[in-house]
Chain A
């Protein structure tokens, strides 16, 4: 039978407890919405269409990632489990948020260090790590963390790859992430993202950037296995070398 919330008992109509009452069944983590396979399929299709139709709907990209990641996420989690640093991340569950980052300290670090360059990236592109969607449709609490970690580390990917947040930069990062994580959402983003680029940019993309991103992605060890919060002082170049990311063109 399909997993469906029980809806036959009458419920009190006070708005106070409606959140808990609605989500009282099988909620594995705050914000979790359990869904049946049919609902996931519909969500995947709907979010894919909506994400293409309205590129500002970042929540749709997130939903697409969650509903299609059922194979990639477990394998990603296992990669983390089998790596000492990744294992620690899974245990300690660090979160990258403005409230937990000591911006002043990071800004004070020398140029070229991960912390300094990360803060510079956030300022130059006017982005914040707090705007990442929390996972809703992942039906495993640990996998929900894995996808959350992937989202929060995305800006660090930009920093490591030296790519800005314009369409071109995002596509390059998506190619890298697609190779690294195998998430179908990244693959789709990498494949369809270029559709909105000019031919000149497409040329640069195809001849230089994508081959580099793919080579780096294949060569590098799993980027989710890096405890970034403990490496702010490390120079970006040294981290790149350590991971196996080739210098950006």
Chain B
């Protein structure tokens, strides 16, 4: 799996856009809206390599924070100048409201691409990059408010271990969110989806990234991944409560969610 992603890292984003015709951006936006983080949230994004989820998180809390600050300022109309000055000082340099995201990935190349993207797009504060394995996270217990893994869990050899680790590092009350390719139950759509996956995607891989085999692997790993209900059961086994899933695009993609209580 490691070698697949080494060669894939640089062209990852281009390939994602071509394979999903840009729809993967919408899926990730939906994930963020479902998460609905408030400022002050500490997020762990596992297998987050090139930073897509992390950047969306930062944008989201920044805009929530903006609205918070605006509301605060409006309520401060009747304060003394001293009080306004003080509150302004406190909030001015806190555009993220102490929110933080830690991007963890097993692959150095993916992290490198992510860091470059962050620099290029101007993301600096509230972001850290850690090399680590989802099956054995380099973090203490009960640390994070939210754990996300977007299109990464199907590449983990022992999903149960990754889920256990997710449970461990989350604070009580923390939320587990998983965005992943899943199973299409509709038979007609399923056949069309299979046709597209097996006929078109490896060709795209060869033409765009010069790498047929990695994308053949990708398509096959999607088929082998547990379907929605099975994954839900696995998440429950790890100790999560209120586990549920939401199908996107008829099950091509699903968001699973669970809470550590």
Contact = CB atoms under 8 A, between A and B. Distances in A.
Interface in B193-233: 198-200, 202-204, 206-208, 210, 212-213, 216-217, 220, 223-224
Interface residues of B, number: 21
A43 B210 CA distance: 11
Contact of A43 (B198, B203, B213): B203
B249 interface: no
B199 A38 contact: yes
A46 interface: yes
A238 interface: no
A50 B2 contact: no
A4 B202 CA distance: 12
B119 interface: no
B3 interface: yes
Interface residues of A, number: 28
B212 A42 contact: no
Contacts of A10: 224
B198 A4 contact: yes
Nearest to B157: A13
B1 interface: yes
A7 B223 contact: yes
Interface in A1-60: 2, 4-5, 7-8, 10-11, 13-15, 18-19, 22, 33, 36, 38-39, 42-43, 46-47, 49-50, 57, 59-60
A7 B190 CA distance: 14
A59 B2 contact: no
Nearest to B220: A7
Contacts of B199: 2, 36, 38-39, 42
Interface string A123-160: 00000000000001000000000000000000000000
A63 to B, nearest CB: 7
A59 B3 contact: no
Nearest to B158: A13
A13 B3 CA distance: 14
Nearest to A136: B212
A79 B138 CA distance: 64
A63 B206 contact: yes
A237 to B, nearest CB: 40
Contacts of B207: 43, 46-47, 49-50, 60, 63
Contact of B198 (A7, A19, A57): A7
B220 A22 contact: yes
B223 A42 contact: no
Contact of B202 (A7, A15, A18, A39): A39
Interface in B7-26: none
Contacts of B216: 22
A62 to B, nearest CB: 10
Interface in A176-226: none
Contacts of B213: 19, 22, 33
Contacts of A33: 212-213
A18 to B, nearest CB: 7
11 contacts: A7-B220, A10-B224, A15-B1, A15-B3, A39-B202, A42-B199, A43-B203, A46-B207, A47-B207, A49-B207, A60-B207
